[in-house]
Homo-oligomer: A and B are copies of this chain.
């Protein structure tokens, strides 16, 4: 994360049952996160047989018994209303109740969003919480928000997304004055959809950090610290970037497996290629915060491995220690 080192003890609730490889990789991720940060305590939410043995083995781990599990395919809002003793609901409630300062899950994004909104609660004044994702690029990192929480938006939501995104960039990227761009299809202010033109005007009037329109090509180029958009466009952009990186990764792999020469070349740069893979993959991202809810609620990629889980927990802990929700409250009040 960023430069400043917070020096506070922190308790993070973790969804033991979230992700494609839960609970195994989550438990391993918790172990890695605990080993890396002596100020961290994990409140592990999940079925008794998963969480209790883990907590017996680790001094800084506490059990949050949650017998129910929300699966990836379930209807988010229905599931969080019905399954009150699921790991996601109890994790979110722990933040509300103050037993934990943050919650991390690699489970259903929709369920986390619904549970956080319903049970953790919004920061006062926030109209819609938004997902923020850090996109890795060439010598750059950019916060993209909303990355998928709100498919339909009003212009004023995007003003808040921009304010909250800037607050997150100050914490996560350590940038004091983030440059905020509006995702659009041209650089000029009159460009784009009617909605984009309206948002442009609003940001120009109300957001001191506003630095003009961004295009898709700016997302991984470091032109802006924060790029704001509606959750539909943001999710398409995020998944397009991930898909492109994946397709290129396969093409590169073919080069190094396709011939004897390629195999020799691959052996020579093996370390750097692994570095490329982890810097562009979900391991680097770890988790994405839900901006606008209390505490620090982060969602990880369903395909997360133990390293990605550990990284997500560390990000959640850092954001909680740096008082993400307080920064958000201040940003939208300004």
Contacts of A238 in B (CB 8 A): 216
Q: What residue of chain B has the Cβ atom nearest to residue A248's Cβ?
A: B248
Q: Is A1 an interface residue (CB 8 A)?
A: no
What secondary structure prevails in chain A residues at the interface with B? helix
B-facing mask of A194-229, CB < 8 A → 1, else 0? 101000000000000000000111111100000001
B-facing mask of A134-174, CB < 8 A → 1, else 0? 00011000000000100110000000000000000000000
Known: A151-B192, A185-B232, A235-B216. Contact between A245 and B248, CB under 8 A? yes
Known: A236-B236, A243-B217, A245-B244. Contact between A262 and B268, CB under 8 A? yes
CA distance A219 to B272 in the complex (A): 27
CA distance A230 to B183 in the complex (A): 15
Partner of A215, one of B231, B239, B264: B239
Q: Is A247 an interface residue (CB 8 A)?
A: yes
Query: Smallest CB–CB gap between A128 and chain B, Å?
Result: 14
Q: What residue of chain B has the Cβ atom nearest to residue A153's Cβ?
A: B193
Interface residues of A in 33-73 (CB under 8 A from B): none
Stretch binding the partner chain, chosen from A93-101, A273-281, A309-317: A273-281
Q: What residue of chain B has the Cβ atom nearest to residue A262's Cβ?
A: B269
- Which range contains the number of A residues in contact with the other chain? 35 or more
Known: A193-B232, A244-B245. Contact between A276 and B256, CB under 8 A? no
Contacts of A248 in B (CB 8 A): 244-245, 248, 276, 280
Contacts of A196 in B (CB 8 A): 151, 232
Query: Across the interface, do B151 and A236 meet the contact criterion of CB distance under 8 Å?
Result: no
Query: Across the interface, do B232 and A219 meet the contact criterion of CB distance under 8 Å?
Result: no
Q: Is A241 an interface residue (CB 8 A)?
A: yes
Contacts of A237 in B (CB 8 A): 216, 236-237, 240
B-facing mask of A240-257, CB < 8 A → 1, else 0? 111111111011100110
Query: Across the interface, do B269 and A265 meet the contact criterion of CB distance under 8 Å?
Result: yes
Contacts of A243 in B (CB 8 A): 216-221, 241
Chain A contact residues, CB within 8 Å of chain B: 137-138, 148, 151-152, 183, 185, 192-194, 196, 215-221, 229-233, 235-248, 250-252, 255-256, 258-259, 261-262, 264-266, 268-269, 272-273, 276, 279-280
A-B contact pairs, 8 of them (CB 8 A): A148-B185, A217-B246, A219-B240, A240-B244, A241-B241, A261-B268, A265-B265, A268-B268
